């Protein structure tokens, strides 16, 4: 279930191209930006590219700085990040530099692709993910079998497009280079298809010589039981809000955020905010939204703790408030323990009311942190 943090990295021309159609790789980054890329590579567990990039660029995908490699080794990591190639066909050149430089390599492919790659003598651990390659399964494999927690994806366009469209990308690092390619056959960064509606969040912009680095994060929640990368961001924020709660020996510290389907934040709240000794996080957040706001019907409530099913201090528990507000999707980190009520089951109340409840246990420790003093 947990997946690596997926960082898409690319440099594009002003007309949105990743390369031209000539035989040489087009350098879009500036020298200082290539240094930055090297620094990012040094901080990840694995670097992934599609077979198209291996064919077009014959890349090495190394950490080039000896100091950065030494720092990795000193920190107990492999000298080079794992190199991951993705191919459906397995039709790859066994002499490509990718297989003969750096540290460990893995080829994620299909049953047919694995047969072909093995026959060709590809110098990597060849892993078949079945008759077709599913990105979720590929990322799960890297996380569970390879211990990859941070994955840098260095293209190409087809791979970036799929990961963004499937809402598996946690972050996009895009460099805009001041040149125009103008070649109709040149590969583009993102192809047509269905992306999240609404805007991504710009988290940083930085001039690096003559290029501009922009870092974005997707914001749109998943739908139903399907988890999007942005769900992890918003639940992380709910856990941060829980840290703001005035401590109490008689109630949990909880944070909550309400997010519209297009990724815009509607409201946030935390327990006991504004001097109200009994207010709950979800209640505080929902109270800030007009009850007739049409976005509520497709919104997601993120709550560090499962919304409550029963309470003494107010007429309606949070699970009921959420349903009454029209919200039908809740993402939480931690099922409520029996600390204050016996057999709490806010998820059951929500499910009975037609809401989808998603629990992300990877956030449980963070949700529990401000509540340690309540543990028996």
Ligand X SMILES: NC(=O)C1=CN([C@@H]2O[C@H](COP(=O)(O)OP(=O)(O)OC[C@H]3O[C@@H](n4cnc5c(N)ncnc54)[C@H](OP(=O)(O)O)[C@@H]3O)[C@@H](O)[C@H]2O)C=CC1
236 binds ligand AOF (CB under 6 A): no
Nearer to ligand X, 57 or 283 (CB): 57
Q: Which member of 107, 124, 127, 159 binds ligand X (CB under 6 A)?
A: 159
| Pick from 245, 256, 241: nearest CA to 289 | 256
DSSP symbol at 353: T
φ, ψ at 3 (rounded to 5°): -120, 160
Measured from the CB atom, is 136 or 288 closer to ligand X? Answer: 136
Return the sign of the alpha-carbon dihedral for residues 253, 304, 325, 342. negative
Could you check whether the bond before residue 276 is cis, i.e. omega within 30 degrees of 0?
no
Pairing of strands 150-153, 46-50: parallel
Q: How far is the CB of 72 from ligand X (least distance, A)?
A: 22
* Size of site (CB under 6 A) for ligand X: 27
Min CB(135)–ligand X separation in Å: 6
Residue 154 as a binder of ligand AOF (CB under 6 A): the answer is yes
User: Residue 154 or residue 283: which is nearer to ligand X going by CB?
Assistant: 154
Nearest CB to ligand X, comparing residues 96 and 355: 96
- Of 60 and 310, the one with the shorter C-beta distance to ligand AOF is 60
Is residue 49 close enough to count as binding ligand X by CB under 6 A? yes
Residue 369 found at the interface with ligand AOF (CB under 6 A): no
DSSP 349: H
- Closest approach, Cβ 147 to ligand AOF, in A, equals 23
| Interface with ligand X in residues 186-205 (CB under 6 A) | 187
Q: Does 219 bind ligand X (CB under 6 A)?
A: no
Q: Which two three-digit tokens encode residue 242?
A: 């829980």
162 binds ligand X (CB under 6 A): yes
Enumerate long-range contacts of 27-30, CB under 8 Å, 24 or more apart. Answer: 28/175, 28/177, 28/179, 28/211, 29/175, 29/177, 29/211, 30/177, 30/208, 30/209, 30/210, 30/211
| Interaction of residue 107 with ligand AOF, rule CB under 6 A | no
Among 2, 16, 25, 214, binds ligand X (CB under 6 A): 25
CA 199 vs CA 202, 217, 302: distances in Å: 9, 9, 19
Site for ligand X contains 300 (CB under 6 A): no
Which of the listed partners (ligand X, ligand AOF, none) does 37 bind, with a CB threshold of 5 to 8 Å by partner kind? ligand AOF
For residue 227, how many other CB atoms are within 10 A of its CB?
20
- 179 vs 351 by CB, closer to ligand X: 179
User: What count of Cα atoms within 13 Å lies in the side-chain half-sphere of residue 252?
Assistant: 28
Does 187 contact ligand AOF by CB under 6 A?
no
Query: Contact region for ligand AOF (CB under 6 A) — 55-63, 182-190, 212-220, 257-265?
Result: 55-63
Dist. CA 98–CA 59, nearest whole Å: 6
Return the H-helix or E-strand segment holding 39: helix 31-42
Q: To which H or E segment does residue 216 belong?
A: strand 211-217
Alpha-carbon gap, residue 307 to 358, rounded angstroms: 12
Q: Which of 6, 7, 8, 10 binds ligand X (CB under 6 A)?
A: 10
Q: Are strands 125-128 and 105-109 parallel, antiparallel or unpaired?
A: parallel
Residues engaged in binding ligand AOF (CB under 6 A): 11, 25-29, 37, 49, 53, 57, 59-62, 154-155
Residues engaged in binding ligand X (CB under 6 A): 10-11, 18-19, 25, 28, 49-53, 56-57, 86-89, 91, 133, 154-159, 162, 187
């Amino acid at each position: 279930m947990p997946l690596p943090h997926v960082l898409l990295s690319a440099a594009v021309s002003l007309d949105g191209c990743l390369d031209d159609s000539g035989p040489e790789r087009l350098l879009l980054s500036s020298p200082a930006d290539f240094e930055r890329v090297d620094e990012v590579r040094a901080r990840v567990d694995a670097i992934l590219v599609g077979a198209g990039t291996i064919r077009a660029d014959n890349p090495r995908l190394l950490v080039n700085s000896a100091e950065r490699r030494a720092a990795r080794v000193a920190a107990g990591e492999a000298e080079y990040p794992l190199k991951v190639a993705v191919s459906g066909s397995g039709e790859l050149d066994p002499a490509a530099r990718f297989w003969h430089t750096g540290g460990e390599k893995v080829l994620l492919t299909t049953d047919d692709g694995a047969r072909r790659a093995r026959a060709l003598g590809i110098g990597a651990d060849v892993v078949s993910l079945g008759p077709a390659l599913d990105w979720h399964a590929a990322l799960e494999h890297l996380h569970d079998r390879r211990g990859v927690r941070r994955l840098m994806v260095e293209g190409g366009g087809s791979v970036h497009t799929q990961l963004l469209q499937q809402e598996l990308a946690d972050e996009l690092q895009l460099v805009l280079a001041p040149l125009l390619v103008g070649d109709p056959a040149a590969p583009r960064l993102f192809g047509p298809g269905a992306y999240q509606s609404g805007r991504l969040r710009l988290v940083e912009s930085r001039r690096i010589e003559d290029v501009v680095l922009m870092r974005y994060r997707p914001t749109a929640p998943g739908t139903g039981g399907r988890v999007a990368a942005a769900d992890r961001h918003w639940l992380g924020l709910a856990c941060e809000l829980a840290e703001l709660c005035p401590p109490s020996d008689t109630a949990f510290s909880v944070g909550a955020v309400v997010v519209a389907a297009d990724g815009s934040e509607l409201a946030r709240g935390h327990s006991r905010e504004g001097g109200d000794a009994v207010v709950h996080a979800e209640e505080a957040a929902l109270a800030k939204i007009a009850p007739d706001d049409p976005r509520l019907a497709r919104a997601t409530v993120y709550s560090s703790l499962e919304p409550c099913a029963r309470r003494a201090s107010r007429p309606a528990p949070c699970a009921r408030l959420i349903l009454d507000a029209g919200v039908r999707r809740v993402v939480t980190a931690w099922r409520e323990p029996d600390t204050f009520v016996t057999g709490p089951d806010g998820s059951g109340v929500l499910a009975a009311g037609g809401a989808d409840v998603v629990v992300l246990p990877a956030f449980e420790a963070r949700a529990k942190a401000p509540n340690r003093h309540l543990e028996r």
